[in-house]
Structure 1
Amino acid sequence: MPFLQGSFIFFMLVFLLIGFSSVLVRRKESTDYLLAGRSLPPSLAGLSAVATNNSGYMFIGVIGYTYSAGLAAIWLMIGWIIGDFLISLVVHRRLRRATGTSDSLTYPTLLGNWFGQNQVGVRVVAALIAVVFLGIYAAAQFSAGSKALNVLFGWQQGLGAIIGATMVLFYCFSGGLRASVWTDAAQSSVMLLGMGMMVWITVTEQGGIQPSWEALDAVSATYMNWFPTDLAFGWLGPLLFVVGWLFAGFGVIGQPQIMVRFMSLDSEESMRRARFYYYGWFTAFYSLAMLVGLMSRLLLPELADFDVQEDTELALPVMAAELLPGILAGLVLAGLFAATISTADSLILTCSAAISRDLLPRRWHSYATTRVATLVVIVLALLIALYSNETVFWLVLHAWSGLGAAFAPLLLVYTLGRCPPQWLVIAMVVTGPAVVLLYQLLDPRIVSTIYEILPGMVAGGLVYLAGATVVRLRRGPGALKPERSNDDTA
């Protein structure tokens, strides 16, 4: 154990130094702090986006969910990646173009200024929604890292969250977004290698792929079923289950912490290459996480016993400690912790940007104000992590669905060349999250069958259709056309 702790601390310092080294190219201006000077190459943008998308959710949450749910968890991967890819073909390139045209430094600013309309109310409401849900998302990252340190080293669970929050503070103050991006690239490579090694070792121990499948099939009568057995709506249940996770992928365009990577690309023409890196690594990450979750059920059957202190979300760190030599286990655990910290860093930066650039008066727009806002958001996220009883998996999913339901329908409307009036935009971005929250009051079987982002996004779209009809009746058929366009024909 002392060797494992020493290895972890050493590699953690290496990841920290990678992030801190970004100070060498830092410029003390908001564009550099928030968007890395809009100079990210496609490789770094793609790797950083997928690392931010995954991190604690993937390495702690998805592996834990797969451990419990079995093969049915595969639909989270299939739906999420396909939905993400399809929506990227429509939105990403136009988003990068609009960022440059409107000179937007934050996601809420981009939504309020997409066509140069300067909708201040939209910026404020979008910023408030972003701060709430991104704060919850950041808390999930602190909780993920804290869980790993608690089970492996016996450290108090709150201590890990405090250490993570302190590291995020240093990250944010050293290089802003660039520090997060550089660390993302390093830790994602380590985690891909580490999870691949654990899958290879566990499959080899079982005697190969066929014996591993047979052992998994013997876990229970339903463990290797393609769909959960408790779905609502009869034969429609499996279809609605898959469509719900397809909408989860659509919701990526509503995630400011991911979209800011594509906003920071060095040029619009780099988008295709960035997508190549993003989806290649995304597929590899999710596939390995699924396999680690399944194989951990064979290696660590005791985690299924709810009488023990550890829970299923600790499968990856426990497997790393048991399967890998001390130095490699320390490297993987440091990569896991760095993943949660660099993602929390991205979330905190996005929150602080929304506060300092979209909620505060223009006279307070400065590099110093952004850093003060960063400190405030870190403290709030830490408090949520310390006192919340939710799992990492559900904290992330609630935050993801709230953000996706708020912003994804609006972004689709913009990319289709429509410019709704401010009142309609605000109605859309408020309705989506409200429906997501109200949806939790329904029958648990319905909630577990249809992921909450689907009704939230549909509600936002219906509000637009109803409002657009009213606008056209009052002002004529061309009332929703923008004065200036960011589409491909512009």
Structure 2
Amino acid sequence: MVLSFSFFLLLFTLIGLASYWQSRGTKQDYYLASGNVKPWLVGLSAVATNNSGYMFIGVIGYTYVTGLAAIWLMIGWITGDFLASLLVHKRLKAAATATGEVSYAGVLSVWSAGGNQPALQRVIGVISLVFLLAYASAQLVAGSKALHVLFGWPSWAGAVMGSILVTLYCFAGGIRASIWTDAAQSIVMIVAMSVLLFTATQSLGGVESTLMQMQAIDGFLDWFPKSLALPGIAGGLLFAISWLFAGLSVIGQPHIMVRFMTLDDTTSMNKARLWYYLWYIAFYLAATGVGLLSRIYLVDTEAFDAELALPTMAMELLSPAMVGLILAGLFAATMSTADSVVLSCSAALTHDILPHQIENQYLIKGVTVVVTFLALLGALANNHSVFSLVIMAWSGMASAFAPLLLALCVGMRPSQFASLAAVASGLAAAILWRYLDLHEKAYEGLIGIVTGLIILCLAELFRHVWNKDKVNVS
């Protein structure tokens, strides 16, 4: 078990370090790999970054507790992600190329009104830094949980190991190292999840026998959870739509969207999306299936941590070598997101928040080390579930950034004041929704994104009326 896990860990590290030989030593190369990454690498890297420890730990734990109703998380998430990609991805890549910007915040601030908006760039940078640090901490926590269960290591060991590895290959090759390791990690991730799904189903006597055992659990195969915001069909529809907005929220995630900004050419976007969605659908189906099966194998008690369902089930069903593969897949998932998040944090701090004139290679790499250390501290102090941490960070950034990006993609060019108002109001609405403990009824990102869009539409309407009045007066 330790041997197979160590083998894959060493493989990922060597792949990341090998990217050093392709490094050009420039800011553009460190943050965007000089904008010449092939479509298949972009697709696999984006899906590995998206399908993080949240999928191995959070989604499986959520499915264990919720049952079949968790499938709406998958359907809504992927559908929303796909719809957003039709409008946003190619336009964002084109804007990054046209503006020469290397960060997500930089592109939005320059694109917004066709000129530099430094206040907007810094605000987006600060919000990104705060939420991405929470996101990175969640990934390190996910890896630690698995190592704790499978090896009996201290709960801090996985977080420390993960932070060291992330620092090594981010320091070596920047986003190119991250993308190369992501591609390898995505293959190990889907193989690990598929092996566990197949083995668990066969151990229960096949598909038909498995379904019969699930039906024996009260309410486990209900299509919707019992705690809906509204009764009947209306509540189920709101539940599904809220998760669609969770998928659409991908456009508000700097660490994922920057992958598409590294693509070699906008004409290659469809190829990248094909790789991305084929891998995404297959992996999400396998993860949901494993989550459902885990409820049969593992007793539901108050003392049991549902987010440990996957490693616990792997130990019961698989040989030591295969358990090592599962752990490698889980650890790969956490690292593929952690390194992406750390690089986006570094970009937010060095390129978006600090003055551009002090930006250089030494500062960029030094900040990468500092950011990784801060994420490690957050992981060691963590007392929340991986699922709740990721959803909080995901919805916060989506509520702040997605409305502005959507508006830009449909041709709106809001002023800096209107953009800042939309960012602030969307984020505030999402935080308030969660503070009022309404996030279990409907995803807070839905509320935040709609709020931000309303602000931008009102600003656009006011601008048209104002310009019309000026023409009439003259």
1:253 aligned partner: 251
CA RMSD of aligned residues (A): 1.5
CA distance in 2, matches of 1:395, 1:217: 31
CA contact (8 A) 2:188 2:332 kept: no
CA distance in 1, matches of 2:184, 2:425: 39
Q: In the alignment, which of 204, 207, 210 is matched to residue 208 of structure 2?
A: 210
Compare 23-32 and 139-148 and name the one that shifted more.
Answer: 23-32
CA distance in 1, matches of 2:337, 2:86: 24
Q: Does 1:150 align with 2:144?
A: no
CA distance in 1, matches of 2:371, 2:242: 31
Q: In the alignment, which of 78, 82, 88 is matched to residue 81 of structure 1?
A: 78
CA distance in 1, matches of 2:368, 2:340: 11
2:455 aligned partner: 463
Matches within 5 A, 1:354-433: 354-433=348-427
Q: Which amino acid aligns with 2:227?
A: D
1:351 aligned partner: 345
CA distance in 2, matches of 1:447, 1:414: 28
Report the alpha carbon displacement of residue 468 of structure 1 after superposing the two structures with TM. Answer: 1.9
CA contact (8 A) 1:48 1:261 kept: yes
CA distance in 2, matches of 1:262, 1:478: 41
Report the alpha carbon displacement of residue 360 of structure 1 after superposing the two structures with TM. Answer: 1.0
CA distance in 2, matches of 1:28, 1:322: 48
CA contact (8 A) 1:102 1:116 kept: no
Matches within 5 A, 1:124-135: 124-135=122-133
Structure 2: which 5+ residue stretches go unaligned? none
Residues 192, 478 of structure 1: alpha-carbon distance in 2 compared, 3 angstrom cutoff: farther
Residues 475, 365 of structure 1: alpha-carbon distance in 2 compared, 3 angstrom cutoff: farther
Report the alpha carbon displacement of residue 466 of structure 1 after superposing the two structures with TM. Answer: 2.0
CA distance in 2, matches of 1:475, 1:214: 66
- Where in structure 1 do 4 or more consecutive aligned residues deviate above 6 Å? none
Report the alpha carbon displacement of residue 193 of structure 1 after superposing the two structures with TM. Answer: 1.2
Q: Counterpart of 1:204 in 2: which secondary structure?
A: helix
CA contact (8 A) 1:30 1:366 kept: yes
Q: Does 1:188 align with 2:186?
A: yes
Report the alpha carbon displacement of residue 232 of structure 1 after superposing the two structures with TM. Answer: 2.1
Matches within 5 A, 1:4-403: 4-114=1-111, 116-219=114-217, 221-235=218-232, 236-301=234-299, 304-308=300-304, 311-403=305-397
Percent of pairs with identical residues: 49
CA distance in 1, matches of 2:239, 2:132: 25
Report the alpha carbon displacement of residue 472 of structure 1 after superposing the two structures with TM. Answer: 2.3
Report the alpha carbon displacement of residue 166 of structure 1 after superposing the two structures with TM. Answer: 1.4
Deviations 1:303-327 (A, max 9, x none): x21225xx11112222233322222
Report the alpha carbon displacement of residue 413 of structure 1 after superposing the two structures with TM. Answer: 0.6
Deviations 1:5-40 (A, max 9, x none): 232122211111111111121111111111111111
CA distance in 2, matches of 1:89, 1:193: 29
CA distance in 2, matches of 1:120, 1:232: 41
1:475 aligned partner: 467
Compare 172-181 and 101-110 and name the one that shifted more.
Answer: 172-181
Q: Counterpart of 1:157 in 2: which secondary structure?
A: coil
CA contact (8 A) 1:12 1:335 kept: no
1:482 aligned partner: none
CA contact (8 A) 1:187 1:336 kept: no
Q: Which amino acid aligns with 1:185?
A: A
Report the alpha carbon displacement of residue 462 of structure 1 after superposing the two structures with TM. Answer: 1.1
Report the alpha carbon displacement of residue 438 of structure 1 after superposing the two structures with TM. Answer: 0.8
CA distance in 2, matches of 1:60, 1:292: 11
Q: Which amino acid aligns with 1:369?
A: L
Structure 1: which 5+ residue stretches go unaligned? 480-490
Q: Which amino acid aligns with 2:411?
A: G
Q: Counterpart of 2:101 in 1: which secondary structure?
A: coil
Report the alpha carbon displacement of residue 207 of structure 1 after superposing the two structures with TM. Answer: 1.4
TM-score, L = length of structure 2: 0.96
Pairs aligned (count): 469
CA contact (8 A) 2:188 2:328 kept: no
Report the alpha carbon displacement of residue 470 of structure 1 after superposing the two structures with TM. Answer: 2.5
1:484 aligned partner: none
CA distance in 2, matches of 1:206, 1:307: 25
Report the alpha carbon displacement of residue 164 of structure 1 after superposing the two structures with TM. Answer: 1.1
Q: Counterpart of 1:373 in 2: which secondary structure?
A: helix
CA distance in 2, matches of 1:270, 1:284: 22
Q: Which amino acid aligns with 2:464?
A: R
Residues 138, 477 of structure 1: alpha-carbon distance in 2 compared, 3 angstrom cutoff: farther
Q: Counterpart of 1:191 in 2: which secondary structure?
A: helix
Report the alpha carbon displacement of residue 478 of structure 1 after superposing the two structures with TM. Answer: 11
Report the alpha carbon displacement of residue 169 of structure 1 after superposing the two structures with TM. Answer: 1.0
CA distance in 2, matches of 1:40, 1:324: 37
TM-score, L = length of structure 1: 0.93
